[in-house]
Structure 1
Amino acid sequence: MSLGPAGDLSLRLFVDDLPVLPTVSNQIRRIQVDAQVNLPTMCEVEFADPFFLLVEEAGLAIGNFMEIRAVVGDNPVGEVVFSGQVESVEVGFEKVTGRVSRVRGYDAGHRMLHGMSTKGYPMMMYPEIAEMIGLEHEIPTIATPYPTVYPMTVQSNESDWDFLVRLAREIGYVVYVAIDPIAGIPTLMFAPQTPAETAPPPVPGVEISPLSFDVGDERILNLKASVSGAGITAVSSARGWDQTLGAPGLGEGPTIGDSSLNLVLPEELGAELGGVNQNVNFTRFAQNEMQAEAASEGLAFRMSGAYANVEITMRGNPYCMPSRALGLSEAGVLTGEYTITAVTHTFLPTQFGYRTHVVCSGMEDRTLAGLQGAAEPRQTSKLHGVYPAIVTDSEDPEQLGRVLLSFPWLDPLYVSNWARVVQAGAGEVMGMQIIPEPLDEVLVAFGNGQLDSPYVLGGLYNLERQPGVPWEEAVEGVPMIRGFTSRLGNQLLFMDDPETPGVVLNTTMGASTIIRLSPETGIEIITVEGQPILITSAADVTIESEGAVTVNSAAVAINGEGDVSISAEGAIEITAGGEIAISAASINLEAEADTSIVAPAVDITGGIVNLGA
């Protein structure tokens, strides 16, 4: 296929693999194909259509398949520059040119732009996620392996396309749909940009490849190339926090890339102009140091490609497609190789025919659309603020006190990664340990607004899940009771009612054991259903009182493994309604004064009885 000025190269419209009839093709006023990394390719065909019938005659109803091929003459075989589906049909009127119809189509990537999803992908690499999504949309996928495994990757209310673009940009990859130039079969690509060094070597004055150019050759109609060190640094950095280790995750990536190769090196520009400063990015807050390193390298790769910008308008060239490399010679310090970022193929049959506009700008788009932000992926829905959630699991496999969460308001099937729970006073071997249970409603905030970084701030009551102390008892004008109740009814209550102030410790909501500390009645220990009270000590037990000590019981037993001593500074009185029995190996009665035994009768019986004075 000749690409020289004498070549009769044009763009032709095919519908369902067949060229449209001359009655349709002769009315084509314009064909334009816009292809760019990280965006689905778009094609627009404009017809002169006096009766608004050509769209139907051509079979270009919404949903039908269309192709644009670069062909020579009437040869139906050529290079496919677009293959996709019709997505919109438009009619218009201009005073000078009359009625027109326009048809817009998009490549297979458009399927991934329909609808938003919230999903979690645990323990997966980004290329594995890309393959899974490509399979869901029935698009053959080529995903270049990337070694980092992410504990949880969350698609946060995003279209599948925007989600993949976000993942790709984070690690220095691009997303696009490549088209087989002969068969027109689409393939979803999730990969680094093609290295610029793969471009055919630029040889001045010799056309050895449709992707090799020199300034001034006949194919080039307009060329502008530049390099800039504005804003560039020698090192790019992403940051994060390792929740498992409780330590910062810091990554650094040198500004080295392979999408632009010329005599000016981005790392040298960064060192010369930026000094020791770093380009620090918080678009994504990493969850560990490995993720921070990956994000830093991706950021550095994007920055390294953005320092150079090459734009060429040339005679029609179907070989120029995104993520292909071209060579440029006789361009001074800008002589080198560059990877194509964006291409526009335009065919105006009544004006200049077929032309191609190429942009090589790394992954940071410098087209007008890019400057306006239209070519950037839509930002992930940031969740700034606090949100309700439901606990689904509290059995943390790593024993870190984390929980799993669902967000029924967001997606009924999505379950978060393990979320840490805020604990009052948490520190080394100290602080609260209150873990919410499954079905509990909790209040959640998200680190950096990222859905994959939840923190549980606390629990919430609702109509179905009420506290252990009824609100009508806890609040009477002002809070009267503040407390904590566990699942089995163990309670710690702070009573601020003036009539019954104090602190109460209950089991089973006070139905079994009660310990009450009161400024008025002192300390009470109560067992309700026959539970014993046991005091055990490995050392002495001392009971001291400035008043009387009273023990009332159905029976009292005092047992000592050693001696038992009862002493008093005053009298000791032992009174019984029945008999008093004293039994011992021997009994000694001693008194410093008289000893009296008074009774109606006294019996003394013994083997030998001695009475003396």
Structure 2
Amino acid sequence: MTESVGISVPKVSINGAAVTGIKADALLDVRVVLETAAAAAATLRFHDPYFELLEGSFAKIGTKLQVAFPDAKGTDVIVFKGKIAAIAAEQGAADRHELVITAYDASQQLSHGLTPTTYTEMTAADIVSKIAKRNSLTAKTSITGKKMTYFLQLDSDHAVLDELARRNGAEWWVDDATLHFTKRTLKAPIKLKWGTTLQRFSARFSGAARVDDVTVRGWDPATQKAVTGKATRSAVTSTKVGLKLKMTDTRATQAKALKASSTVTDMPVGAADEAKALAEAMQADLAAGELRVQGEAIGQPKIAAGSTIQIEGAGTQLAGTFVVNRVEHIFGVGRPLLSRFEGGRHGGSELADHIVSAQRGSVRNRRQFAIGTVTNVKDPDKVGRIKVKLPTISDKDDSAWARVVSPGAGKSRGLHLMPDVGDEVLVAFIGGDPRNPVILGGIWSKKFAPPTPEPVKGDKVGERSLVMASGAKLVFTENTDKKKAVVALKHAEPETNLQFDKDGVKINAKKGTKIKLVVGDASVELASDGTITLKGGAITIKATKNLTLQGQKVSIKGSTGAVMDGGGSKVDLSPSGAKVQASGMVTVKGAMIKLN
């Protein structure tokens, strides 16, 4: 039988003043819920049939509320500190109204508001400390980890703490003004004995979600290689997940017969140690969910989220310790304090549930984007598709044929710039279906750097270009002075280029080479030594005004003849003779003239 325990009358204070006298006598019910990763809540019900407490100044929104219960030694234990958030009038037993006060602790403000925040070169513990300080809390963390180069907060502080906890295998909760962020750790226990302080107790072990190993795969753009992290179930002891019951070890050994492995590919990681840490967090979360314990203790106000309970007198299999995830302290008039507690993973853990749903083949948050490396560009249908390897998923398997997104793509038109085998690309999946991949574009990295390393001048991009692997490029230079803007088509040899600027069009060729324009049998050739050669079946030079030919020596040669026509005068030269003809006077002048 349950040992008799005295009535634990709560001590309530509002805004620092103790609730006493008639008001204390009107207290009917107190419920305080303390839970990891959630705001602590207190609900108090007062007998108020004539609305005197409601209409008076007894309680106001935003005022402080504290609840304490005496322990077995009569020492008051504060179980809740917070602020009143809601006040209600509800009909209770016999249709008599009750004043209902609801309050939350300081962690409730973590869900309020959202200001996008960037954290650079910080560990998870650093970010937790920043969040705590921002909310007037003091952080107490035991998590060590690698610094994250960049972390962007786009959700509430509460959501960020959840994410960091999941990725680090940790729990978080607020106790008064302290934000605790730690792994599930066994501490000095609160001892509960079956049949005395422990009134109800149940434990359930399930190996249904057990996996022998969890592998997390990611991609390192700096090395252009896949990264993996692996965690085995055998490396996760019950102590590491805050459970040290003999039942856990016994049943976990038996569950080895349920062999399974799981690979996670859609939680981006960029380094092996990050993948390893995430795999360990997932495996620990799964292990913590194998055992679920629930119980009811009486007269135990010290039980809180994160505290450790030791079970005694319940046989050898249930003997041991575990970390409490949730407790609800319940007081009713004429009854002792009842504390309902839970241990092991309760509710749903996104990481563990993520793996379990994958094992069951259920529809889950499908992959939307992935990094790929091109493996095949020879599309048998000749419609510009390629195949890629997705290193975060497999080092061996190619994707389905993927269409390539291209500006202006349409029937026989569009910008046609296909990636090469080995290129890193960003892959998207239509509807999250891996059977329908599309290539969004290529990605530069340290290993495959941009062709123009520093096109920026000051805070402006001074040059934009289209560059081929051969070195040929189309370059657009930017300038606020439009007269200085240049468009250039350049060869791999930089001296060879076609340039459009304010002065016109200029074609340059490397010294020792030629510029040659050819149309059928006609050609114009410019050599670097200054020689210009025009060739064609017939060449016509026509000027609407003057035509001047000038040189050190001017030679005109006709294979069958040459004619110079000056309007009314004409000189006709042929192999058979020469003829000079004029409509007017012909003048021949010289220092000496010889006529044969």
TM-score (norm 1): 0.61
Q: Which residue of 2 aligns with 1:102?
A: 100
Question: Alpha-carbon deviation of 1:447?
Answer: 13
With over 3 angstroms needed to count, the CA separation of the structure-2 counterparts of 1:357 and 1:534, relative to structure 1, is: closer
8 A contact 1:309–1:361 mirrored in 2: yes
Q: How does 1:327-406 map to 2 (within 5 A)?
A: 327-329=310-312, 330-350=314-334, 352-362=335-345
Q: 1:531 to 1:544 in 2, by over 3 A?
A: closer
* Residues 601/64 of structure 1: CA separation in 2 closer, same or farther (3 Å cut): closer
- TM-score by length of structure 2 reads 0.63
Indicate how the Cα distance of structure 1 residues 72 and 262 shifts in structure 2: closer, same or farther if over 3 A, else same. Answer: closer
Q: 1:268 to 1:576 in 2, by over 3 A?
A: same
Counterpart among 188, 191, 200 of residue 212 in structure 1: 191
Give 1:71's aligned amino acid.
Answer: P
Matching of residue 251 in structure 1 with residue 229 in structure 2? yes
Task: Identify which range, 102-111 or 318-327, moves more after superposition.
Answer: 318-327
Letter in 1 for 2:211: T
Instruction: Give 5+ residue unaligned stretches, structure 1.
Output: 180-185, 201-210, 371-381, 387-420, 433-443, 449-454, 459-485, 493-503, 516-523, 584-593, 605-613
Change (3 A) 1:548 1:354: closer
Cα distance per residue 1:247-274 (max 9 Å; x no partner) = 3332222331331112232894486143
CA contact (8 A) 2:330 2:337 kept: yes
The equivalent position to 1:221 in structure 2, one of 196, 199, 211, is 199
Aligned to 2:62: 63
Post-superposition Cα deviations, 1:90-134, rounded to whole Å, max 9, x if no partner, equal: 111146251111101111101111123332222211111111111
Q: Distance between the aligned counterparts of 1:161 and 1:336, measured in 2?
A: 32
Q: Distance in 1 between matches of 2:512 and 2:80?
A: 87
- Deviation of 1:290 after TM superposition, in Å, equals 2.7
Aligned counterpart, 1:324: 307
CA distance in 1, matches of 2:156, 2:487: 57
1:512 deviates by 7.7
Aligned to 2:268, the other structure's residue is in SS state strand
Q: What's the CA shift for 1:569?
A: 13
Task: Show CA shifts across 1:459-517 (max 9, x none).
Answer: xxxxxxxxxxxxxxxxxxxxxxxxxxx9779899xxxxxxxxxxx999989998899xx
Structure 1 SS opposite 2:40: strand
Cα shift at 1:59: 3.4
SS of the equivalent of 1:296 reads helix
Deviations 1:216-269 (A, max 9, x none): x31222111222212111223333332333333322223313311122328944
What SS class does the counterpart of residue 321 from structure 2 fall into? Answer: strand
Give 5+ residue unaligned stretches, structure 2: 354-364, 370-405, 408-415, 433-438, 443-460, 468-473, 490-497, 539-546, 556-574, 580-587
Answer with 320-329 or 81-90: which moved more: 320-329
| Structure 1 position 547 matched with structure 2 position 531 | no
Counterpart in 1 of 2:503? Answer: 529
- Judge conservation of contact 2:518–2:524 (CA < 8 Å) in 1: no
> What value does the CA root-mean-square deviation take over the aligned residues?
5.2
Aligned mates of 2:327, 2:88 — CA distance in 1: 24
Contact 1:9 1:73 in 2 (8 A): no
Q: Aligned equivalents of 2:241 and 2:475: distance in 1?
A: 69
The answer as to 2:166 corresponding to 1:175 is no
Note the 1:183-198 alignment, pairs <5 A.
186-195=177-186, 198=187
Change (3 A) 1:597 1:36: same
Mapped pair 1:34 → 2:25? no
State whether structure 2 residue 249 is matched by structure 1 residue 265: yes
Cα deviation, residue 528, structure 1: 7.3
Q: Residue 210 of structure 2 aligns with which residue?
A: 232
> How far does the alpha carbon of each residue in 1:306-333 deviate from its partner, in whole angstroms, 9 at most, with x for none?
1112211121201211111111234332
CA 1:446/1:253 → structure 2, altered by over 3 Å: closer, same or farther? farther
Residue 311 (str. 1) matches residue 279 (str. 2) = no
Inter-partner Cα distance in structure 2 for 1:331 and 1:61: 49
Contact 1:13 1:69 (8 Å CA) reproduced: yes
Give the 3-state SS of the residue equivalent to 1:304 in structure 2.
Answer: helix
Closer, same or farther in 2 for the Cα pair 1:545/1:220, shift >3 Å? closer
Corresponding residue for 2:268? 285
Identity %: 15
Name the SS for the 1:168 alignment partner: helix
User: Structure 1 residues 339, 509: closer, same or farther in 2, change over 3 A?
Assistant: same
Which residue is 2:163 aligned to?
166
- Equivalenced residues, count: 452
- SS class of match (2:301): coil
